Structure 1
Amino acid sequence: MTDRDEVKLHWLRQNERRHIRNLPRWAKVRIEKKAAKWLGKACKVSVPLFWGQEMSVVFPEFVSGRLGKFGYFEDDVTSMFIDCLESGMTFYDVGSHFGYFSLLASSLVGSKGQVFAFEPTASTYEVLTENAARRDNITCCKVAAYRTTGPLAFIEQGVGRSSLNFVIGEGYEPDPADHMARETTVPAVKLDDFASQHGEPDFLKIDTEGAEIPVLEGMIDTIARCHPTIVLEMGDHVCSSTGNGLSRQNVDFLLRHGYEVFEYRNRDPRPHVPRASYSYTNLLFRHPTRMTRPRIAK
């Protein structure tokens, strides 16, 4: 049985018991999170993911808490990966954070595939590299993906709020009461430039806190040439708070390039009808020229 087969089997088993609380696991996470808050500092711990892979996380950070309690993060995106990633594929994880989706993709694409994990901020990147070292096919890239290659203004919020780091958009207005946010400069790369040197992606996840359009604009040639499957985070509140445009523009951009859009409900894909506005969700974009297509729920 391949790693991919094992991941799929564990996900099916997890689905059967997902409404049953694992009380010992939840209690352990609760104690560790409270200890971190009491100590007044972030605490790094190791947690098992749903297919048995160990991963380093940092309490009391939000994503880490979810991984600690459930062994996965974002039910819909995890299902998208399991449905669409095949052995031997190349995956780009844009906004990799601590690397949950990079680890998942690494197991799904196997030894013949490769994973490139993009994370520009130092404290987050440190945890990412520790997790990537657990696998042989993950390459960590300490850069942001953007529409241009060069220095990029960025907000870093510390390891405890690391999932909320973001590119400073044109409409960004600092919050004087937010003492955690720190403006910095990080290197950025156009994914077209990156792909020309390291190979084109078959699949991407782009989670850049509202800066998804600049990432897409930086890979326009790659989109036209190889039509990679793309998962995008959507959410107008995040876009507004970071000074970036609204999420509908992401949908319109990829529709203009011939993509079809899917949403997942209860781990099953359905065709997505574009909306005027978006609360928090994730969407799957697939081009008709891609052979593998998601199973559509009836």
Structure 2
Amino acid sequence: MPQGQAAAAPNSTLVRVAEWLRPRRRLVPVARLAGRAGPAEAAVRALAQAVPMAGETLLCRTLGRHKMLVDAGDFTHAPHLAMDGFWEWWTTRFLAERLKPGQVFVDGGACYGYFSLLAAELVGPAGKVLAFEPHPRSAGLLRRNLALNGLEGRAQVEEVALAGANAGQVMRFALPEGSPMNAHLLPEDLAGSGSGLGTMCGPGMALVPTRPLDGHDGVKPDVVKLDLCGAEEAAFDGMQGVIEANPAVQVLLCFNPVRSAAPADFLARLAGQFRLRRLTAQGEAQDCTPAEAMGGGDVMLYLAR
């Protein structure tokens, strides 16, 4: 084509027909996540993808619908989101079936916000999500993910660690390399503030504020999820006021006897307040005994009256 000669305008009818015929992959409806695992998992996996972004970040499509920014150096949680598009299908399905429009969901240990995003869609504009994540990097990505999916108006991010009834002080928070989901509070309480704290916080460590859930003014959750890498026992102690004020509250609590200070006593306490159940691999609540929960490994307990 001679220089300066305008290209012929494409046939607008052909362009519209070609666009209409172009294969499209529709987003997975959130209601479908409550169905049988097989077909829903396959639909989510078909849409899973990950794209490198600036700042050591990956952009993933999760649950066949959400855009999620995750840490590219994360070798525990992020690979599942990038390659499969989901995390803990049993918990995903359970929440998709249980959470209703207008409810309040507390996500204790929200990480990048996988469950916070799902809950924000399920509770709708009349509901509310309170996401607690003390890891500085993860909390920043969590805020971005809510905004990226247009859900920031339904969720409130608290960059604090949920802890016991006497929480409120600053504590040391371990940041394992390559595993932000396993970041955890150290047992020592660091009361006070100032230069003395800084000298006790080296590489792989952060200082984070702590708070009991009871200390969050006016919170009346319908569902509380606690996945806190060993701080579940303290956090449960710090939400007794919430439980007393909301007898119908439902609690999902990740239990591991190795990470619990007094696992048998803790299970006995849980069983004394709630019917003790655990989530199966299919996302169904099944009665279990304390002995079964002590069997080893992570167990997602479902506590409800």
Q: What range describes the TM-score normalised by the shorter chain of this pair?
A: 0.7 to 0.9
Tell me the residue number matched to 2:209: 187
Superimposed CA distance per residue, residues 228-258 of structure 1 (whole angstroms, 9 cap, x where no aligned partner): 1111112234x1xxxx415444432221113
Q: Return the index of the structure with the highest Cα Rg.
A: 2
Match of 1:218 among 232, 238, 246: 238
Aligned residues: 257
1:266 is paired with a residue of what secondary structure? coil
Tell me the residue number matched to 1:202: 222
1:108 is paired with a residue of what secondary structure? helix
Letter in 2 for 1:151: Q
Match of 1:268 among 268, 281, 284: 284
Spell out the pairing of 1:146-157 with structure 2 (5 A cutoff). 146-147=163-164, 148-157=166-175
2:138 is paired with a residue of what secondary structure? helix
2:253 is paired with a residue of what secondary structure? strand
Q: 8 Å contact 1:169–1:211 — kept in the other structure? A: no
Distance 1:42 1:277 in 2: 41
Tell me the residue number matched to 1:175: none
Superimposed CA distance per residue, residues 183-206 of structure 1 (whole angstroms, 9 cap, x where no aligned partner): 332111111121xx2421110110
Distance 2:86 2:262 in 1: 28
1:132 is paired with a residue of what secondary structure? helix
Q: Establish whether residue 58 from structure 1 lines up as the match of residue 71 from structure 2.
A: yes
What is the deviation of 1:14?
5.9
Distance 2:47 2:129 in 1: 33
Q: Establish whether residue 78 from structure 1 lines up as the match of residue 92 from structure 2.
A: yes
Mean Cα displacement is larger for which, 203-212 or 160-169?
A: 160-169
Structure 1: runs of 5 or more not aligned: 171-179, 288-298
Q: 8 Å contact 1:151–1:185 — kept in the other structure? A: no
Letter in 2 for 1:137: R
Distance 1:183 1:16 in 2: 42
Distance 2:155 2:45 in 1: 30
Q: Establish whether residue 120 from structure 1 lines up as the match of residue 134 from structure 2.
A: yes
What is the deviation of 1:45?
1.6
Tell me the residue number matched to 1:290: none
Superimposed CA distance per residue, residues 255-277 of structure 1 (whole angstroms, 9 cap, x where no aligned partner): 11133423223233322222244
Distance 2:282 2:219 in 1: 34
Spell out the pairing of 1:1-298 with structure 2 (5 A cutoff). 6-12=29-35, 15-16=38-39, 18=41, 43-61=56-74, 62-133=76-147, 134=149, 135=151, 136-147=153-164, 148-157=166-175, 160-169=178-187, 182-194=204-216, 197-227=217-247, 228-237=249-258, 239=259, 244-275=260-291, 276-287=294-305
Distance 1:139 1:234 in 2: 25
Distance 2:167 2:29 in 1: 39
Tell me the residue number matched to 1:296: none
1:106–1:248 Cα change, 3 Å: farther
1:105–1:93 Cα change, 3 Å: same
Letter in 1 for 2:210: A
Distance 1:268 1:13 in 2: 11
What is the deviation of 1:59?
2.2
What TM-score do you get using the length of structure 1 for normalisation?
0.76
1:12–1:161 Cα change, 3 Å: same
Superimposed CA distance per residue, residues 42-78 of structure 1 (whole angstroms, 9 cap, x where no aligned partner): 7212111224121111224121111111211011111
Aligned residues with identical type, % of pairs: 21
Q: 8 Å contact 1:213–1:249 — kept in the other structure? A: no
Superimposed CA distance per residue, residues 91-148 of structure 1 (whole angstroms, 9 cap, x where no aligned partner): 1111111110100110111111000100112111111111122312011001111112
Letter in 1 for 2:109: G
